[in-house]
């Protein structure tokens, strides 16, 4: 879910200018919140939450931003939502023997945090499969995170299965 | 005017193509005004040659005994002979050496150098020397068609003509039926990799040496051809990052399942890169196909995803793709709209 914080002039028709670019770009709007109580200089802060098709998300979000700017709507903040910054990979190989704690710590140093871990193995010295759920900051793309995990996987000879 | 055809390789695909030529003869003649003569059918140890046209019905009736036919000539090799027969189209359906692209590669160059249009179901030449083949064809003003090399009769190379008003952003595909069969069996029945592989071999889906399929080389070759065609690249198989599926365990599949995900051997082309590797996809993704099927998802700028699926292998499937290529060549060389 994407959450957009904007400021729009308190004049008729302005809300339409906010909604149009979102729906033009295939956005599915979930909610709009007006903060009339926080009106300053005839500008009302508005929060709008919507979802965009995963595949063309970045491109469409860029279109929306451009169109909003053209309509003179000021964007204060964009929150790309938790789903965007949270994903799963499976590592196969000697995940434990190659020091899983070290793996987790090294990723944490890069601000990639393991939020969940589930392992399946027959014996600790055997090949295991481990599912990791990661959280990472908004400034990162999924590919940035994959690059970091990949570096460790290559060094520790682990197989990375990603989405 | 008759189109004079030379067929190299009378195995599964070659024989099915001949049968389709026979079945569709009336349609080709009457509806498309495509009149053909098969002048030569080459095998590794000799050839059927008749400059007036080989009687296809007789050859098909003889099945594997075609060497007893009066037109059979021992020890005639395609590479030495195709230039002598005034052929219009040379069709290669030989098995390819994955490292050299031979013998198809030499057949293709020989044909083009002798002003013969080319159709091929052998993919090696196109993932190794795509640019060289196209450059030569262009120089000679000849046509090269190879729809059967990627997903057989699933019209994924020719889809390019229908998407000229659009823009393709990425390709995600399952292009190897054997590895997809194995992963499907592991996911649906919980069988081990080795068991699923043995099953695939018993059912005739996997070769005795399944390395090219399960280690991703076969899918990588097809991906190169597909991406070169749809993105106008000139890449070779050396540029594909390839990971196989032989190390995928039942445990990994179970972990994925617990998140509503599934492991598939995907071939991906986007942003200038080519990748074949096992990936996690959503269970309800259109790429989650079962068994030996192939599927290709194109992400496009103006129509979103376009998905096409079908049987990626089989003699008739590849044979009909070749026949379609022949019809395209007929249309172009005879200037038919
Ligand atoms: N089968 C499919 O589903 C399918 C689909 C798409 C593309 N393809 C591709 O199409 C090609 C043919 O496949 P296929 O299944 O028909 O294979 P196949 O049944 O093994 O047939 C290949 C034929 O070519 C002959 N041959 C080998 N070397 C030759 C040479 N130098 N000159 C003339 N003939 C030669 C073989 O003879 P011997 O067997 O007697 O050596 C055999 O009769 C392969 O490159 C394959 O990858 C196949």
CA atoms of A36 and B180, how far apart (whole Å): 56
CATH for B62: 3.40.50.720
- CB burial string A116-134: b at 16+ within 10 A, e below: eeebbbeeeeebbbbbbeb
Q: Do B43 and B129 belong to one domain?
A: yes
Question: What whole-number distance in Å separates Cα of residue B52 and Cα of residue A160?
Answer: 60
How many CB atoms neighbour CB A149 within 10 A?
Answer: 21
Are residues B48 and B59 in contact, defined by beta-carbon separation less than 8 angstroms?
A: yes
To probe the interface with A, which of B172, B251, B268, B283 has the most A CB atoms within 10 Å?
B251
Residues B129, B237, single domain; the answer is: no
pLDDT of res. A82: 47
Let me know whether B76 and B177 are in one domain: no
pLDDT along chain A (163 residues), means of 10: 87 88 89 85 89 81 90 84 73 94 95 94 87 88 93 97 95
Contact B281 A131 (CB under 8 A): no
Distances (CA, A) of B279 to B137, B220, B244, B284: 37, 15, 11, 14
B30 catalytic per annotation: no
- Residues in chain B with CB shorter than 8 Å from the CB of A55 are 299, 304-305
The CA-atom distances, in angstroms, between B260 and each of B250, B253, B254, B284 are 15, 11, 10, 9
Q: Are residues B240 and B329 in the same domain?
A: no
Tens of pLDDT, residue by residue over B261-288, are: 999 999 999 999 999 999 999 998 999 9
Give contacts of B276 with chain A, Cβ < 8 Å: none
Distance CA B310, CA B65 (A): 33
One domain for residues B9 and B77: yes
Stretch B65-94: mean pLDDT = 97
Closest residue in A to B257 (Cα) is A131
Do B41 and B170 share a structural domain? no
Phi then psi for residue B72, to 5 deg, are -70, 130
Planar angle of CA B306, B310, B313, nearest 5 degrees: 135
Place of tokens 């044909």: B111
* ipTM value > 0.85: yes
CA distances to A71, B8, B41 from B91, rounded to whole Å, are 60, 6, 9
What is the largest distance, in Å, between two alpha-carbon atoms of chain A?
69
Q: Do B245 and B189 share a structural domain?
A: yes
User: Model's pTM, two decimal places?
Assistant: 0.86
Phi and psi at residue B50, to the nearest 5°: -150, 110
Instruction: Determine contact: A161 vs chain B, CB below 8 A.
Output: yes
Position A56 scores a pLDDT of 77
- The CATH number of the domain holding residue B301 is 3.30.360.10
Same domain for B141 and B166, yes or no, is no
Contact A159 B243 (CB under 8 A): yes
Secondary structure (DSSP) of A16-71: HHHHHHHHHTT-EEEEEEE-GGG-BTTEEEEEEEEE--STTHHHHHHHHHHHHHHT
Tell me phi and psi for residue A21, to 5 degrees: -60, -30
Using CB atoms, pick whichever of B169, B254, B279 lies closest to residue A161.
B279
Number of alpha carbons in the 13 Å side-chain half-sphere of residue B98 = 12
* Interatomic CA distance for residues B180 and B238, integer angstroms: 23
- The reported pLDDT for the residue numbered A83 is 52
Q: Which has more pLDDT, B330 or A140?
A: B330
Range of the domain at B246: 158-311
Residues 6+ apart with CB under 8 A from B190: B250, B253
Query: Same domain for B206 and B191?
Result: yes
Distance B310 CA to ligand 1 centre (A): 21
Same domain, B264 and B199: yes
Query: Distance between CA atoms of A38 and B137, rounded to whole angstroms?
Result: 70
The Cα A72–Cα A95 span in angstroms is: 52
Q: Searching chain B, which residue's CA lies closest to the CA of residue A91?
A: B252
**Contact between residue A5 and residue A45 where contact means Cβ atoms under 8 Å apart:** yes
- Report phi then psi at A59, rounded to 5: -65, -45
Q: Is B329 helix (H, G, I), strand (E, B) or coil?
A: helix
Looking at the structure, tell me whether residues B138 and B282 fall in a common domain: no
Please identify which of the residues B222, B235, B271, B337 carries the catalytic annotation: B222
Please tell me whether residues B146 and B255 are part of one structural domain: no
Q: Reduced to 3 states, what is the DSSP secondary structure of residue B123?
A: coil
Q: Total domain count for chain B?
A: 2
Please state the separation of Cα A100 from the chain's center in Å. 25
Domains of chain A: 2-79 (3.30.70.260), 85-162 (3.30.70.260)
Q: Tell me how far apart the alpha carbons of residues A22 and A34 are, in angstroms, rounded to a whole number.
A: 17
Average pLDDT over residues B250-260: 95
CA distance B93 to B118: 11
Distances (CA, A) of B314 to A60, B223, B319: 41, 19, 8
Atom index in ligand 1 nearest the CA of residue B124 equals: 45
Residues of A in contact with B257 (CB under 8 A): none
The tens digit of pLDDT for each residue in B174-230 reads 999 999 999 999 999 999 999 999 999 999 998 888 999 999 999 999 999 999 999
Share of residues in chain B with pLDDT > 90 (%): 95
- Quote the CA–CA distance of B336 and B275 in Å, as a whole number: 39
The set of residues, in sequence order, having a beta carbon less than 8 Å from that of B88 and lying 6+ positions away, is B3, B4, B5, B116, B117, B333
Most B CBs within 10 A among A161, A162, A163, hence the mutation to make, goes to A161
Closest CA to B21 of B64, B67, B65, B53: B53
């Amino acid at each position: 879910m994407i959450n957009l914080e904007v400021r729009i002039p308190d004049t008729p028709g302005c809300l339409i200018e906010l909604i149009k670019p979102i729906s033009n770009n295939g956005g599915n709007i979930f909610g709009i919140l007006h903060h009339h109580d926080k009106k300053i200089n005839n500008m009302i802060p508005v929060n709008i939450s919507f979802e965009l098709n995963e595949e063309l998300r970045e491109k469409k979000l860029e279109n929306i931003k451009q169109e909003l700017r053209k309509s003179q709507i000021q964007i204060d903040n964009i929150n790309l939502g938790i789903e965007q910054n949270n994903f799963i990979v499976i590592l196969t190989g000697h995940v434990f023997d190659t020091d899983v704690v070290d793996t987790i710590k090294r990723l944490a140093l890069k601000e990639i945090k393991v939020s969940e871990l589930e392992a399946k193995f027959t014996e600790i010295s055997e090949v295991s499969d481990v599912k990791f759920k990661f959280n990472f900051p908004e400034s990162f793309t999924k590919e940035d995170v994959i690059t970091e995990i990949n570096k460790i996987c290559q060094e520790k000879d682990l197989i990375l299965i990603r989405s | 005017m008759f189109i004079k055809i030379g067929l190299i390789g009378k195995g599964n695909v070659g024989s099915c193509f001949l049968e389709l030529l026979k079945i569709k003869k009336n349609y080709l003649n009457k509806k498309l005004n495509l009149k053909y003569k098969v002048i030569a059918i080459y095998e590794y140890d000799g050839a059927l040659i008749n400059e007036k046209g080989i009687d296809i019905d007789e050859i098909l009736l003889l099945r594997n005994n075609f060497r007893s036919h009066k037109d059979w000539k021992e020890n005639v090799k395609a590479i030495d002979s195709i230039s002598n027969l005034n052929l219009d189209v040379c069709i290669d359906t030989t098995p390819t050496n994955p490292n050299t692209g031979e013998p198809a590669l030499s057949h293709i160059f020989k044909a083009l150098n002798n002003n013969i249009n080319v159709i091929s179901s052998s993919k090696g030449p196109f993932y190794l020397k795509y640019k060289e083949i196209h450059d030569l064809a262009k120089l000679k003003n000849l046509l090269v068609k190879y729809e059967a090399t990627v997903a057989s009769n699933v019209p994924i190379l020719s889809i390019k003509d229908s998407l000229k008003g659009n823009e393709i952003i990425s390709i995600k595909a399952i292009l190897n039926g054997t590895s997809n069969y194995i992963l499907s069996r592991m996911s649906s029945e919980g069988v081990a990799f080795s068991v699923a592989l043995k099953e695939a071999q018993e059912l005739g889906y996997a070769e005795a040496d399944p390395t090219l399929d399960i280690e991703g080389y076969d899918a990588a070759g097809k991906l190169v051809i597909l991406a070169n065609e749809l993105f106008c690249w000139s890449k070779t198989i050396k540029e594909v990052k390839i990971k196989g599926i032989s190390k995928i365990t039942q445990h990994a599949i179970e972990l994925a399942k617990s998140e509503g995900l599934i492991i598939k051997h995907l071939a991906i082309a986007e942003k200038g890169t080519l990748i074949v590797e096992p990936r996690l996809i959503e269970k309800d993704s259109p790429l989650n196909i079962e068994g030996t099927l192939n599927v290709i998802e194109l992400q496009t700028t103006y129509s979103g995803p376009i998905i096409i699926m079908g049987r990626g292998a089989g003699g008739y499937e590849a044979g009909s793709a070749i026949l379609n290529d022949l019809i395209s060549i007929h249309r172009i060389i005879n200037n038919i709209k």
